[in-house]
Amino acid sequence: MPPKLPVLAVTALAVGALGLGVLPANAGEPSPPGSPAAGATPAPEIAPGMLKSISKDLGITAADAKKRVANEQRAVDVEKKLRKKLGAHYGGAWVTGATSKLVVATTDSADRSVIEDEGAEPKVVRNSLAALRAAKDALDTSALKRAPRATSVWAVDVRSNSVLVRAGEPAAAKEFLTRSGAASSLFQVTRSSEQPRTYADDLRGGDAYYSGGSTRCSVGFAVTKGGTDGFVTAGHCGRTGTKTSGHNRAAQGTVRGNSFPGDDYGWVAANSDWRATPYVKGPGAANLSVAGSKETPVGSSVCRSGSTSGWRCGVVEQHDATVTYREGTVHGLSRTSVCAEPGDSGGPFVSGDQAQGTTSGGSGDCSTGGTTYFQPVAEPLAEYGLKLSTS
């Protein structure tokens, strides 16, 4: 029997065969105040190992972890509906609290009842999400002309209703903002010691794949393209045309596409010895199933796994962050409080049973804590015409 695709060796958080059913919000007890309304997509079954990891890493009870994941899954549908209803007034959405209560922002106080009718908590803010994104885009454009000095990360932060800029030298960051031409009132500069780096090829061991015979990274999500099986991973793990080998060092496939910097995604077409599955490797080496790729709101719990540090969980801090690595600037990443280490690059991030993205890089480590960024999975799927392997 051919070996299973190393995507099993890369772990991430999804749902598995040993599922623990999540009850609907109205079964047995009322929904927490501000939780998404009923009628949304049913919450998935959640593997006990995943709930245990979220409980441990986020410091909440197992019962709250169960409610949290169910609420986060329902929040996806409610947010989508409210985004459409609020239109130009929409200021973003996030979840908060131990059990992830959905908060939706608007620039018009008249929208409060519309938001409350969907079971979410309204928050009136000054800036629309569209205005914040336009300001961030101005920074991205400015960075193409001149890389910011010691300004490592900038992203729309819906919770503070600003574009949050993290910099080792705030004065230099403010000059960067001035060059962008965007209104200063849309930005918030904070001093940060972050020095993002990619997580490739530093350490050995664990379930992994190897690019060019030496660079060790982690498989992301299994995909198919026509009759070819393969997987998505980080773009910095190998250039197009590079040969790869699996965790067992057996010949595995070829990098068919990659983008880095600018983006940080790529895909590997596997040879006939490897097959795509809908699994990622979860806590305790259990196979956990991936059912789709709906993006989870800011504040949601998210877990990842890689060939160095294994299974880790945290929360989504911002989406659409621009990150400056030594190798160049990457756009459109999501910032998380999950730790990671060299060799974890390319590994999967999952929320509930939904694929979120692949590990790009970050700061810190899993001994002292850190920050990790992931490349959302939707972009490489669309760019290369790939189909995510799902249950």
CA–CA separation, 24 and 50 (whole Å): 19
Catalytic residue, candidates 345, 351, 360, 389: 345
φ, ψ dihedrals at 80, nearest 5°: -60, -40
What CA–CA distance (Å, rounded) separates 149 from 246?
Answer: 39
pLDDT of residue 24: 34
Q: pLDDT at position 170, please?
A: 87
* Residue 89 annotated as catalytic: no
Active site residue 345: yes
The helix/strand count (H/E) of the chain reads as 6, 24
- Among the options 152, 192, 236, 360, which is catalytic? 236
The pLDDT of residue 226 is: 93
Whole-angstrom distance, CA of residue 29 vs CA of residue 98? 17
- From the list 229, 264, 320, 353, the catalytic residue is 264
Opening angle at CA 290, ends 381 and 97, nearest 5:
105
Helix (H) or strand (E) holding 382: helix 378-384
Q: What is the pLDDT of residue 26?
A: 35
Average pLDDT by consecutive 10-residue portion of the chain (391 residues)? Answer: 33 27 34 46 68 93 94 96 98 97 98 98 98 94 72 92 92 86 91 74 50 91 92 96 89 94 96 87 81 97 92 96 95 97 94 95 94 97 96 85
**CB of 32 within 8 A of CB of 71?**
yes
Enter the pTM of the model. Answer: 0.77
Q: Are 65 and 53 in contact (CB under 8 A)?
A: no
Q: Which of 118, 126, 123, 155 has the alpha carbon at shortest distance from 139?
A: 155
Active site residue 353: no
Q: Are 208 and 307 in contact (CB under 8 A)?
A: yes
CA distance 213 to 216: 8
